[in-house]
Every structure is written in C-alpha cells, then in structure tokens.
C-alpha cells in the first residue's frame, strides 16, 4: 500500500496521531490518520507528541485532553513498532525526501509560544517566591511587589522588608556618649526611609481592609488590623521623631535631655506593642 503522506510504496499501518496546543480559552488541535509508512509515523509521532507535551496543557479543556492525546500517540506508535522500513526500491520515489517540518502549526509559532509560556512560568515562580527572590534578585522583587499591596505575595514582601528594617534600626549600638551615638544612629537612616515607605503602603492596605470589613471572619486579619497596624505606625512615627531630634541636636543638654527621654520611651512603647502583636500572632497560629 502507498503511504498517505509521502506516497511511498511499502509496508504501512493505519494510525491516528493527535496534537493539541492549549491557549487559555481556546485551543488548536490537529489530527493525522490513515495508512502511513514507518518514517512518516516516526515524524508525526515525534512532532505531535513533543508539541502536545510542552504546549498541550495551557487551558481547562486542554489540560483534560492532553493526557489522553499523549497516551494515544504513544500507543499508536508502539502498535506500529513491528512495521518494516520501506524497501530500497521505494527510495526512487521522488517525494521521499524528509519534509523539513511535519504537522500542524508553524514551527516558528511553536517556538515563540513555547518561549512565552516559559517566561510566564518563570515570572509566576519569581512572583510567589518572595524570600528566594529577595536573596538573589532584590531589584526584580522590588519591581514585582513595589505597587500597592493586593495579594499575599505582596504582603509577604512588605512584611519581610519591614522586619528587616526594624532589625537593622534596633541593632545594638556600639558607641558611648552622644557624639558617637549620633552619627551611628544617623547612618541607619536608609532603613527608616524604607520603613516609612513600607509602612505607608501597609497602612493604605489596612484602610482598604477595614472598609471592606475583612477582619470580621478572620482572627489573624483582625490581629493585623487591631495590633500590628497601629503598633507599626507608632513605631515608624517614634523613629522619625527620634531622627529629626538627633539630626538637629549636636549636644545633649539639661534642656533637651527630657525631650530625648520622651522620644526614646515612645520608641520602646511601640516596640512593646509590636512584641505583643508577635506574641498574640503566635498564640493564634497566624505565624505559620
Ligand atoms: Zn510516508
């Protein structure tokens, strides 16, 4: 019998191969069926199966049909396993030469679409692995989560930034006396700038959550609203005031030492509030 694809005279087998390309709401599919020779079976099997394996899954219906297509193609290919190669005589048929590409959908489209899927996949991976990205690509992380807080990944990013800023601001001071302490504190200003930025974003998010009453059915959300948000705001304000005072004060005198003490105690009060939040958060299992 002659091969339906290349027209070669020789042993053929009746096979059916499918290809699926999932494109979210739509899909592209193709089918080849009929009496095919061994080389054509191999070409269609490889092209249709590899295309489906990589591009088949991306859609609801596509996700469901892709496993069946893959199983069918492998099954059809194995069925034709015993098929002999076309004889030497058949090689004289003019159109035996390998087509550069078989199957449906242009090769260029498959490569470009495959790259798009790969990039989207990498993007999603980066978006949801906040900790990993912060360690290895902080600049990309800042771009991904730099806007308003709209989901958990954004929240996780802001949270990690805030705790890091507080840790850095509260790290132990080595200096003794105002003259040494002053530059040491002021050298930490970048953390305060960053903290103000993240606190602003967080407070805006909290306002939205309050207006939508999101805390009503969620104890962890309620804790964030009632304890964390005011404590963080108080801490940020206390630190800002402390920096303003420190910048303008070159010397501690009898007159301004009371002001400094008051500022320091505001700072430690707000830190106590934050620690209280951390304790309550743990108690309710919200830290997991
Ligand atoms: Zn053929």
pLDDT at residue 271, as a whole number: 94
pLDDT at residue 152, as a whole number: 82
* Helix (H), strand (E) at residue 27: strand 26-36
Span 176-180, mean pLDDT?
A: 89
For 55, the token pair is 């591009």
Average pLDDT, the chain: 88
CA distances from 288 to 209, 281, 282, 284, 285 (A): 21, 9, 8, 10, 6
Among 61-65, 71-75, 129-133, 275-279, name the one with the lowest average pLDDT.
129-133
Question: Does position 127 have pLDDT exceeding 90, yes or no?
Answer: no
Higher-confidence residue: 20 or 134?
A: 20
Q: How far apart (Å, rounded) are the C-alpha atoms in residues 141 and 225? A: 25
Neighbours of ion ligand 1 (CB under 5 A): 3, 5-6, 8, 37, 40
CA 250 to chain centre: 47
Q: How far apart (Å, rounded) are the C-alpha atoms in residues 86 and 41? A: 12
Under DSSP, is residue 241 helix (H, G, I), strand (E, B) or coil? helix
CA distances from 74 to 20, 32, 35, 81, 254 (A): 14, 14, 17, 11, 88
- Would you place residue 198 in the very low, low, confident or very high pLDDT band (cuts 50, 70, 90)? very high
- What would the pLDDT profile of 94-124 be if each residue is shown by its tens digit? 554 454 456 666 788 888 888 888 888 888 8
Higher-confidence residue: 88 or 205?
A: 205
Tell me, in angstroms, the distance from the centre of ligand 1 to residue 110's CA.
Answer: 23
pLDDT at residue 111, as a whole number: 84
Tell me, in angstroms, the distance from the centre of ligand 1 to residue 19's CA.
Answer: 18
Question: Does position 42 have pLDDT exceeding 80, yes or no?
Answer: yes
pLDDT at residue 100, as a whole number: 47
pLDDT at residue 36, as a whole number: 93
Tell me, in angstroms, the distance from the centre of ligand 1 to residue 52's CA.
Answer: 22
Question: Does position 288 have pLDDT exceeding 80, yes or no?
Answer: no
Q: How far apart (Å, rounded) are the C-alpha atoms in residues 76 and 70? A: 10
User: Which of 5, 50, 67, 55 shows the shortest CA–CA distance to 26?
Assistant: 55
Any bridge partners for residue 54, and if so which?
none
Question: Does position 128 have pLDDT exceeding 50, yes or no?
Answer: yes
* Helix (H), strand (E) at residue 69: helix 60-79
For 114, the token pair is 């495959």
Residue in the block written with tokens 């996780």:
156
Q: What's the DSSP call for residue 146?
A: -
Q: Do 69 and 20 form a contact (C-beta atoms < 8 A)? A: yes
Tell me, in angstroms, the distance from the centre of ligand 1 to residue 28's CA.
Answer: 24
* Helix (H), strand (E) at residue 14: strand 13-23
HSE, CB side, 13 Å, CA atoms: give it for residue 185. Answer: 20
């Amino acid at each position: 019998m002659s091969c339906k694809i290349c027209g070669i005279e020789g042993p053929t087998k009746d096979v059916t191969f499918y290809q699926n390309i999932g494109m979210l709401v739509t899909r592209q599919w193709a089918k080849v069926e009929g009496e095919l020779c061994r080389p054509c079976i191999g070409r269609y099997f490889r092209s249709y199966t590899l295309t489906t394996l990589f591009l088949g899954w991306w859609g609801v219906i596509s996700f469901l049909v892709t496993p069946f297509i893959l199983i069918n193609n492998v099954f059809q290919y194995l069925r034709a396993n015993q098929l002999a190669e076309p004889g030497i005589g058949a090689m004289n048929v003019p159109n035996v030469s390998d087509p550069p590409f078989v199957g449906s959908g242009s090769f260029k489209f498959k490569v470009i679409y495959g790259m798009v899927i790969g990039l989207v996949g990498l993007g999603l991976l980066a978006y949801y692995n906040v900790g990993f990205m912060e360690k290895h690509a902080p600049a990309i992380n800042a771009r991904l989560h730099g806007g308003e807080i709209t989901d958990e990944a954004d929240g996780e990013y802001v949270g990690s930034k805030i705790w890091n800023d507080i840790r850095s601001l509260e790290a132990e001071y080595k200096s003794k006396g105002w003259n040494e302490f002053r530059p040491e504190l002021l050298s930490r200003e970048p953390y305060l700038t960053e903290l103000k930025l993240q606190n602003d974003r967080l407070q805006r998010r909290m306002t939205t959550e309050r207006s939508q009453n999101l805390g009503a059915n969620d104890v962890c959300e309620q804790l964030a609203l009632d304890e964390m948000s005011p404590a963080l705001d108080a801490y940020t304000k206390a630190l800002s005031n402390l920096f303003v005072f420190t910048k303008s004060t070159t010397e501690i005198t009898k007159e301004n030492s009371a002001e400094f003490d008051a500022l320091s105690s505001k700072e430690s009060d707000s830190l106590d509030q934050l620690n209280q939040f951390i304790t309550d958060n743990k108690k309710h299992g919200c830290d997991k």
